[in-house]
Amino acid sequence: MTVPLEDNVSDIIGKAQRGLGISDSQLAERAGISADKVRSLRSADFDAEAIDQAAPVLKLSSAGLRKLASGKWDAVDEVAGLAQFNTTYQDITVNAYLVWDPATRDAVAFDTGADCDEMLRRIDRDKLSVRLILLTHAHPDHVADLRRLRQTTDAPVYISELEPEEGAQPIAEGKRFKVG
């Protein structure tokens, strides 16, 4: 079963712009495209030429963006020690992940999604021991069920020091963890 993607091309372009601190007008200037073309990209009106010009400025793959814009992307086969959970939060879908060492069964949860029911079932079914909960960021759709996941697993929770979240310990960029 193919899990829906969390982000579309417009989302990816917007996130890349925010992450790099590039405004629409700056993107237009650096990519050599009109401001109207940038607005079109941001509103899901995709033009392959505009994608090809904007992608390198945003440090993105133009081929990947074009493929995604055309609705063609290849689902990845299941990987041992990795599970993705896709949940609905209001009018969007959000992904959360479990990564574990198949030998030791020690696991790390990344985000909770809108609810962690399916994740908790997988933890129980595969007899995993969640050692850490790592939050990618503090948006409500990524931490909606944090209290329950934390109480159920008794695992410590960490998040970037730039985005504090109640109940999570702040960490600096570059922090490393070892599990398994």
Dump pLDDT digits (tens) for 121-159.
Answer: 999 999 999 999 999 888 888 888 899 999 999 999 999
Work out the pLDDT band at 175, boundaries 50, 70, 90. very high
Q: How far does the chain reach from its first CA to its final CA, in angstroms?
A: 29
CA distance 51 to 19: 18
Q: Per residue in 56-86, is it b (16+ CB within 10 Å) or e — as a string?
A: ebbebebeebbebbeeeeeeeeeeebebbbb
Mean pLDDT (whole number) for 57-75: 86
User: Which element (helix H / strand E) includes 88?
Assistant: strand 82-89
Domains parsed from the chain with CATH numbers: 9-69 (1.10.260.40), 82-171 (3.60.15.10)
